[in-house]
């Protein structure tokens, strides 16, 4: 089976082709056109600008994905497109392409959830994941702990009550003038810093639930900067390291606590922030202590990409848990949540 994935939920235009043969997954192409440099001067995503870039890039990215896969549309069996969550104006660009192609070539069309795409990014590199599995999704827009008892069987057991972890990284990076996107910038400079230099709060760490909050940590950094006044490059590194460690402590400790309570067999990490070296290393180490199967996406699949969306489409189709919409009925759900198929 060959699946075409389309992803335009935010600022990456992506089209991918997967082939699944004898239960083995092969990524034939995964083309991603990033808009990071375009949005960087604004310190964040500008929705109208994102939509304009999707409009400009989608056709060439689509053609390149098919060319790299050495396939024609007639050879594709299934189309899987992101319908949410994300920027509505951006999501429509991908959906409109998917509808057009599905109608022209008479292909089955599957509506895919972007967050479930992040979960399934782990299935791109492993089919050994055992259920129940606990998924830590950490990105610019979301921070969630999702219990997965089978394919298409999800339960959100914890999520951020304010800022997502990635959003907090962006805001703190802006405070200390490190640029955008904040996650990679903080991670890089933090390598030269002392994570114990500043005692920053670990919000909600000792609460009995599995929810997160990062606005208080962000505010603590703001007050620290006011107290310090002008700061050196070394102090920037120390603040970055201390902030990063506080975020990771909360993410990892809550995940491990939930893994024990729910007696999971696997821990999965995903989302844009899953590219963070220290987070990957720390969570993997803690999962190993519990002798649990651990998976994290290859670095090229941590950010938004169409390969993971094609993976969602494949599993929805495989397990027949999903009623396919008519292409004309497919619409955006910008606030879509993880839910059972």
The predicted pLDDT at position 56 comes to 97
- Assigned CATH topology for domain 131-296: Nucleotidyltransferase; domain 5 (3.30.420)
Query: Mean pLDDT over residues 39-50, rounded?
Result: 92
Show Cβ contacts of residue 190 under 8 Å, excluding neighbours closer than 6 positions.
237, 240, 241, 243, 244, 278
Instruction: Say if CB 145 and CB 156 are below 8 A apart.
Output: yes
The predicted pLDDT at position 64 comes to 99
The predicted pLDDT at position 127 comes to 79
- Cα 182 to chain centroid distance, Å, stands at 15
Instruction: Say if CB 244 and CB 190 are below 8 A apart.
Output: yes
- Topology match between the domains 2-120+301-329 and 131-296: yes
Which tokens is 129 given? 């994941």
Q: Is the pTM of this model over 0.85?
A: yes
The predicted pLDDT at position 325 comes to 67
The predicted pLDDT at position 323 comes to 66
- Centre a 10 Å sphere on the Cβ of residue 52 and count the other Cβ atoms it contains: 16
Q: DSSP code of 30?
A: E
Domain ranges of the chain: 2-120+301-329, 131-296
CATH number of 2-120+301-329: 3.30.420.40
Among 249, 84, 81, CA closest to 165: 249
Show Cβ contacts of residue 132 under 8 Å, excluding neighbours closer than 6 positions.
147, 148, 149, 262, 263, 264, 265, 266
Instruction: Say if CB 15 and CB 92 are below 8 A apart.
Output: no
The predicted pLDDT at position 140 comes to 87
Percent share of the chain, pLDDT over 90: 92
| pLDDT tens for each residue of 194-251 | 999 999 999 999 899 999 999 999 999 999 999 999 999 999 999 999 999 999 999 9
Instruction: Say if CB 211 and CB 252 are below 8 A apart.
Output: no
What confidence tier does 321 reach under pLDDT thresholds 50, 70, 90? low
User: What average pLDDT is seen over the chain?
Assistant: 95
What confidence tier does 320 reach under pLDDT thresholds 50, 70, 90? confident
Query: Mean pLDDT over residues 240-269, rounded?
Result: 98
| pLDDT tens for each residue of 124-175 | 987 789 999 999 999 989 999 999 999 999 999 999 999 999 999 999 999 9
Show Cβ contacts of residue 52 under 8 Å, excluding neighbours closer than 6 positions.
none
| pLDDT tens for each residue of 164-197 | 999 999 999 999 999 999 999 999 999 999 999 9
């Amino acid at each position: 089976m060959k699946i075409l994935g389309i992803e335009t939920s935010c600022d990456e235009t992506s089209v991918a082709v997967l082939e699944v043969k004898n239960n083995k997954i092969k990524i034939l192409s995964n083309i991603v056109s990033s808009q990071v440099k375009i949005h960087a001067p604004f310190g964040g995503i500008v929705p109208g600008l994102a939509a304009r870039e999707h409009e400009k890039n989608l056709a060439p990215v689509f053609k390149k994905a098919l060319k790299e896969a050495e396939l024609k549309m007639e050879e594709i069996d299934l189309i899987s497109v992101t319908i949410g969550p994300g920027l509505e104006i951006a999501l429509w660009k991908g959906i409109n392409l998917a509808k057009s192609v599905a109608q022209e070539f008479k292909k089955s069309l599957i509506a895919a959830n972007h967050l479930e795409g992040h979960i399934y990014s782990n299935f791109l590199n492993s089919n050994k994941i055992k259920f129940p599995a606990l998924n830590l999704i950490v990105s610019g827009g979301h921070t969630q702990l999702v219990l997965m008892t089978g394919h298409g069987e999800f339960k959100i057991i914890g999520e951020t009550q304010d800022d997502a972890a990635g959003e907090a990284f962006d805001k703190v990076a802006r405070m200390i003038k490190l640029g955008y996107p904040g996650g990679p910038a903080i991670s890089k400079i933090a390598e030269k810093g002392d994570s114990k230099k500043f005692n920053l709060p670990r919000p909600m760490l000792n609460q009995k639930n599995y929810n997160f909050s990062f606005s208080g940590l962000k505010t603590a950094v703001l007050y620290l900067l006011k107290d310090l006044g002008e700061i050196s490059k070394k102090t920037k590194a120390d603040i970055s390291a201390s902030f990063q460690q506080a975020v990771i402590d909360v993410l990892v400790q809550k995940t491990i606590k939930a893994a024990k309570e729910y007696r999971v067999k696997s821990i999965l990490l995903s989302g844009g922030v899953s590219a963070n070296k220290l987070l990957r290393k720390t969570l993997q180490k803690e999962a190993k202590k519990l002798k649990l199967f651990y998976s994290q996406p290859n670095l090229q699949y941590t950010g938004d990409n169409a390969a993971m969306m094609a993976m969602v489409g494949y599993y929805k189709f495989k397990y027949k848990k999903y009623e396919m919409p008519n292409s004309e009925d497919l619409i955006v759900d910008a606030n879509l949540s993880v839910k059972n198929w």
